[in-house]
Amino acid sequence: MNHEPLLRLFEDRPGEYISGESMSQELGVSRTAIWKQIRKLEAAGYHFEASRRLGYRLLSVPDNLAVEELTSRLNTRSFGKTIHYFETVESTQNLARTAAEEGAAEGTLFLAEQQVSGRGRMGRNWVSPRGKGVWMSMVMRPSVPIHFAPQLTLLTAVALCRSLKRVTSLPIGIKWPNDLLIGGKKISGILLESAAEDERLRYVIAGIGISVNLEESDYPVELLEKATSLRISAERKWVREDIIAEFLKEWEQLYFLYQEQGFSPIITLWEALSVSLGKTARLMTPQGDITGIPIGLDESGAIRIQLADGTVKPVFSAEMGEPL
Ligand code: BTN
């Protein structure tokens, strides 16, 4: 049963209770079918009040992403030109990867209200509750060698940071390589997964998670000291469509700049937004821990770490600890 006729009944009688009996009569289906449909609507974010005597009353509808409005506002060339929108998914990364394997064009975007198995870096879980954040993955097809993939991650972090600052005016900085922080707490993460052939990237799936309207109760307690949201930081809610539209525009512009002028302009922008530079930190690399002062990025996207003996070592992949 499609839920539109049932929703229409509630919309026609705002604030009123409707009995199971009358819904079943008006729609010509069993009361069990009505009950099942209400359960489904509740799972999709609708709230009802149930009274054994009076029936059901619709209290609120979900604050879903207005995808059509978003599409009509986008003035990008390819980023977000095709949007696939879902209520609940395991992870938007998986959907985007399947689409990329089947030939989806660059810029094809997967957006979900909720992820039940959202993935973070290093095999971590990514908290993605319904309707509260931006959980999205986009197909990219850059024609660059595989070892340039870190540059795309850094470029994406710059675009996200610049656009979020523009929309919210919050003091957001980038922790190497691509976490966005407010007051030391993470508000957004980027996960790039790529497929390559003959040393060239076939495609990249750029996964972006932005904790927009999460409240403290949305996080597991152990994350509260490390993570926050735009809403908690600013003490107000944000319109997710504004954030996505601004980000896609900025991201595409930087991507064009990168394709025309290479990575140098991105380095300058990244360094200006970084909160990691100049502070002694420990980096956990696959080859062991390194302690030193991050002093900038190099042309490949590695971070340059000044060691105690004054030498400078590029680090390509690591987890960066708190400043020491
Ligand atoms: C990180 O650990 O910082 C990266 C987090 C990336 C989360 C996003 S949410 C959309 C996309 N789908 C996923 O499962 N992960 C990414």
Strand order in the sheet with 200-210: 83-89, 109-115, 134-140, 200-210, 185-197, 179-182, 172-175
The total domain count for the chain is: 3
Shared domain for 240 and 310, answered yes or no, is no
Shared domain for 166 and 114, answered yes or no, is yes
What residue numbers bound the domain in which 20 lies?
4-60
Fill in the DSSP letter of residue 190.
E
Last residue of a domain, one of 13, 32, 60: 60
Shared domain for 144 and 120, answered yes or no, is yes
Dump pLDDT digits (tens) for 233-263: 999 999 999 999 999 999 999 999 999 999 9
Atom 9, ligand 1: residue with shortest CA distance: 209
Q: What is the mean pLDDT of residues 9-23?
A: 92
pLDDT of residue 280: 94
- pLDDT averaged over every residue in the chain: 94
Task: State the pLDDT confidence band at 24, using cuts at 50, 70 and 90.
Answer: very high
Shared domain for 126 and 247, answered yes or no, is yes
Dump pLDDT digits (tens) for 142-171: 989 998 999 999 999 999 999 999 999 999
Q: What is the mean pLDDT of residues 21-36?
A: 93
Ligand 1 atom showing the smallest separation from residue 93 Cα: 12
Atom 2, ligand 1: residue with shortest CA distance: 120
Task: State the pLDDT confidence band at 183, using cuts at 50, 70 and 90.
Answer: very high
CA 250, 253, 256: angle at the middle one, nearest 5? Answer: 150
Top mutation candidate among 97, 204, 208 for ligand 1, by most atoms within 8 Å of CB:
208
Ligand 1 atom showing the smallest separation from residue 208 Cα: 8
Q: How far is the CA of 70 from the centre of ligand 1 (A)?
A: 21
Last residue of a domain, one of 257, 273, 289: 273
Q: What is the mean pLDDT of residues 191-214?
A: 95
Shared domain for 49 and 73, answered yes or no, is no
Shared domain for 174 and 48, answered yes or no, is no
pLDDT of residue 321: 85
Atom 16, ligand 1: residue with shortest CA distance: 207
Last residue of a domain, one of 60, 77, 107: 60
CA distance 170 to 188: 13
Ligand 1 atom showing the smallest separation from residue 136 Cα: 10
Shared domain for 112 and 156, answered yes or no, is yes
State the CATH number of the domain containing residue 292.
Answer: 2.30.30.100
pTM of the shown model: 0.88
pLDDT beyond 80 at 1: no
Q: How far is the CA of 173 from the centre of ligand 1 (A)?
A: 18
Are 82 and 107 spatial neighbours (Cβ–Cβ below 8 Å)? yes
Task: State the pLDDT confidence band at 42, using cuts at 50, 70 and 90.
Answer: confident
Q: What is the mean pLDDT of residues 254-274?
A: 97
Shared domain for 19 and 36, answered yes or no, is yes
Shared domain for 212 and 233, answered yes or no, is yes
Ligand 1 atom showing the smallest separation from residue 115 Cα: 14
Indicate if the alpha-carbon torsion angle 299, 305, 310, 313 is positive or negative. negative
Q: What is the mean pLDDT of residues 8-19?
A: 92
Shared domain for 128 and 198, answered yes or no, is yes
Task: State the pLDDT confidence band at 44, using cuts at 50, 70 and 90.
Answer: confident
Q: List pocket residues of ligand 1, CB cut-off 6 Å.
A: 91-93, 115, 118-121, 124, 126, 128, 135-137, 179, 189-191, 207-209
Q: How far is the CA of 190 from the centre of ligand 1 (A)?
A: 6
Is the pLDDT higher at 323 or at 183?
183
Top mutation candidate among 128, 130, 187 for ligand 1, by most atoms within 8 Å of CB:
128
Q: How far is the CA of 86 from the centre of ligand 1 (A)?
A: 16
pLDDT beyond 70 at 138: yes
State the CATH number of the domain containing residue 50.
Answer: 1.10.10.10
Q: Count other Cβ atoms within 10 Å, centred on residue 75.
A: 9
Shared domain for 228 and 167, answered yes or no, is yes
Shared domain for 85 and 23, answered yes or no, is no
